[in-house]
């Protein structure tokens, strides 16, 4: 991104417009209570091992990590990195810096995640795990500048629907995948149509 940033000097830096927050003009801000809550879309069965068995709702059944792991490691010796896995979880692609499994998965309670401080984290709080190492994206996310939204911009009229980080980024291979683009309009190039 650095290259782009330098290039951006070609266009001059835009001054954020001055806003006039004169109460006569500004909208009456509704009480916070009146605002619709954000809805965060989270994949089902976060932190469970996905199996190929399908339940009555058409979802893949997930099993708790502790089903096999008991309290902790079972590999012999326990794998630290993906390339040390010889018997299980082999289908897993891993490409997330050079993190060890234990950077995120608590070693003595396989149903929990762990922060660098050693504090345990439920899978429901996975976003706090990401935030620990990616504070700037997390901050942007909290203000809608990363991660996007759908639904309503006006939360007095409806909720804002947002994706959890792991909807877009697989925790083990977080790079956003390449895609085939949709077709462009078939117009004559540049404004002639």
Partner 1 sequence: MTDPTDDTTTVEANDGGIDRRTAMKALGATLGAAAFARAMAPLRSWSADQSMDEFLQQHYKRLSDEDMERILRRLEQETYDEYGAQVHIDDPQPIPGVQFGYALNLSVCNGCRKCVEACHIENNHDRSTNNSYIRVFEMEQGSMDFEKGTADYDHTVPAPGKYYMPVQCLQCDNPPCVDVCPVEATWKEEDGVVVDYNWCIGCRYCQAACPYHARRFNWKKPEIPTGEVNPVQAYLANRIRPAGVVEKCHFCLHKTRKGGAPACQQACPTGARVFGNMLDPDSDIRWVLENKRVYVLKEDLGTRPRFFYFFD
The nearer residue to ligand HEC, 36 or 60, going by C-beta atoms, is 60
Instruction: Provide CB contacts within 8 A for 135, sequence distance 6+.
Output: none
Instruction: Provide CB contacts within 8 A for 96, sequence distance 6+.
Output: 171, 172, 173, 174
**Helix, strand or coil for residue 43?**
coil
The tokens describing 96, both together, are 């997330």
13 binds partner 1 (CB under 8 A): yes
Stretch near ligand HEC under the rule CB under 6 A, chosen from 8-16, 28-36, 132-140, 182-190: 132-140
Q: Which of residues 147-166 bind ligand HEC (CB under 6 A)?
A: 147-148, 163, 165-166
Q: Nearest-5° angle of CA 3, CA 7, CA 13?
A: 125
Give me the residue label for tokens 């500048």. 145
95 binds partner 1 (CB under 8 A): no
Site string for ligand HEC, 79-98 (x = CB under 6 A): x-xx--xxxxx----x-xx-
Stretch near ligand HEC under the rule CB under 6 A, chosen from 13-21, 25-33, 167-175, 179-187: 167-175
């Amino acid at each position: 991104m650095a290259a782009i940033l330098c290039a951006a000097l070609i266009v001059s830096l835009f001054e954020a417009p001055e806003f006039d927050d004169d109460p006569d003009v500004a909208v009456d801000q509704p009480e916070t209570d009146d605002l619709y809550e954000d809805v965060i879309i989270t994949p089902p069965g976060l932190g469970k091992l996905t199996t190929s068995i399908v339940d009555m709702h058409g979802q893949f059944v997930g099993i708790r990590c502790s089903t096999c792991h008991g309290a902790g490691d079972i590999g012999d010796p326990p794998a630290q990195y993906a390339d040390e896995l010889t018997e299980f979880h082999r289908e897993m692609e891993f490409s997330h810096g050079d993190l060890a499994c234990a950077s995120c998965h608590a070693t003595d309670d396989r149903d929990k995640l762990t922060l660098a401080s050693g504090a345990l984290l439920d899978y429901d709080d996975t976003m706090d795990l990401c935030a620990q190492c990616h504070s700037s994206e997390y901050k942007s996310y909290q203000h809608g500048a990363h991660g996007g939204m759908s639904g309503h911009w006006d939360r007095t009229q409806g909720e804002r629907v947002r994706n959890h980080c792991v909807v877009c980024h697989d925790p083990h291979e977080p790079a956003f995948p390449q895609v085939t683009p949709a077709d462009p309009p078939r117009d004559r190039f540049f404004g002639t149509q």
